[in-house]
């Protein structure tokens, strides 16, 4: 496994190791692809307010553990779903629903985690006068 943002220990904090082994035993690339897809999903939710390149880089910031927790919940759900779609434990579904709700709340400004903010470009203000002194059009 060559995970790009998470580590195996991050996955094992929420998911029993046998679930991972059973779900990706013959296709080791699947876990990496699932992680990349879920990172793209999270970026799509957060890109309007936060610098997602910094969020998913190796830099440290205060709420990195919660981003890892959300990503782990999403990845774990899809790893287990890949194995047996109808046999997903309710804990995984609940974690998935929590992660989606948290991402939506962050996007909508209800939650305000300490994530790196997007750099705001100052817009140039143009000063001038459009007064028509000739009193006609």
Residue of 12 and 66 predicted with greater confidence: 66
Report whether 70 contacts 14 (CB < 8 A).
Answer: no
Predicted confidence (pLDDT) per residue in 101-125, tens digit: 999 999 998 998 998 888 877 777 7
Percent of the chain with pLDDT over 70: 80
Q: What is the pLDDT of residues 51-91, one digit of tens each?
A: 999 999 888 888 888 999 999 999 888 888 877 666 778 88
Q: Is this structure's pTM higher than 0.85? A: no
- Which two tokens mark 6? 């998470």
């Amino acid at each position: 496994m060559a995970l790009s943002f998470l580590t195996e220990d991050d996955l094992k904090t929420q998911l029993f190791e046998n679930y991972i082994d059973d779900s990706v035993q013959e296709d080791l690339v699947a876990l990496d692809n699932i992680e990349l897809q879920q990172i793209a999903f999270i970026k799509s939710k957060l890109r309007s307010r936060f610098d997602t390149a910094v969020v998913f880089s190796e830099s440290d910031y205060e709420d990195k553990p919660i981003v890892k927790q959300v990503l782990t919940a999403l990845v774990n759900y899809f790893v287990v779903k890949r194995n047996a779609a109808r046999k997903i434990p309710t804990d995984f579904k609940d974690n998935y629903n929590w992660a989606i709700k948290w991402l939506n709340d962050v996007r909508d400004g209800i939650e305000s985690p300490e994530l790196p903010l997007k750099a705001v470009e100052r817009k140039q203000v143009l000063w001038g006068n459009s007064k028509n002194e000739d009193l006609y059009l």
